[in-house]
Amino acid sequence: MKIFRLLAFSTVALFLVTNCSNSKPDPGPDPDPVYHYVTFNTQGGSEIKFQEVEDKKPLSRPTNPEKLGYKFGDWYTDTTFTLRYDFDLPVTSDFTLYAKWTLIATTTVTVTSESETRGTVTGGGTYPVGSLVTVVATPNEHFNFEGWYEDDVKVSSDASYSFTTGQSNVSLLAKFKGVTMTIHFDGGTGAYDLPDDMIITYDEGITMPTEVPKKNNYIYTQWAISGVGTYLPGQTLLPGHVNAIFT
């Protein structure tokens, strides 16, 4: 009987040891997946949203961006466009892709001032078709901006003029106008029979009045512009007085 009990106990012990050696430890819950962020720099094209990609999974190719006047070339890993990205590769880190563009159509915008003594202009150049272009005219002292003209047709009264380019080149002329100024004829103390003040536009010559100023014990000889010298008919006048010279 003792031998039987011993054998039974040995059999149970062996069964328990065997089962324990074949069992696996509980691994616990699965770890959270790792994700990477991929951003798309469209270099001035339409916006492409970033992608969140699981580690070692491939990146989904986004819809091609658009850019007016350009053709999309593909996505590159660098701004010099030496390495085109392979969308079959597994993603293992965060990175940025850059859009490459090829210029397909341009418009030349030419801006000219009617006279650089009256004002200056900026904004001319070569632009992709469909671009929003702004040209600016800046009047010099004593001048106001009058308008932008294309083929003798006034297209804007604003010194800062914006428009969208089409297929044809654009040539714009900026015109300026002198400010209104008053010319006062001054004969000094004791002078009389002086001409009335004249309202003129700066940068335009005037015809001298026929009146001859008088001054007791003096003889009138000529008119002179203050700080400039003797007036000549048609000469450009500066703001100020026109003085009578007596001898």
| Per-residue pLDDT in tens (0 to 9) along the chain, 247 residues | 444 444 444 444 444 444 444 555 666 676 889 999 999 999 999 999 999 999 999 999 999 999 888 899 999 999 999 999 999 999 999 999 999 999 888 899 999 999 999 999 999 999 988 889 999 999 999 899 999 999 999 999 999 999 999 889 999 999 999 888 777 777 778 888 888 887 878 777 666 777 788 888 888 777 676 545 555 545 555 545 566 555 5
Is the CA virtual torsion 66, 68, 71, 76 positive or negative? negative
pTM above 0.75, yes or no: no
Beta strands in 77-208 (DSSP E): 95-103, 106-113, 119-122, 125-128, 132-139, 143-150, 153-156, 160-164, 170-178, 180-186, 191-192, 198-201
Strand, coil or helix: what is 55? Answer: coil
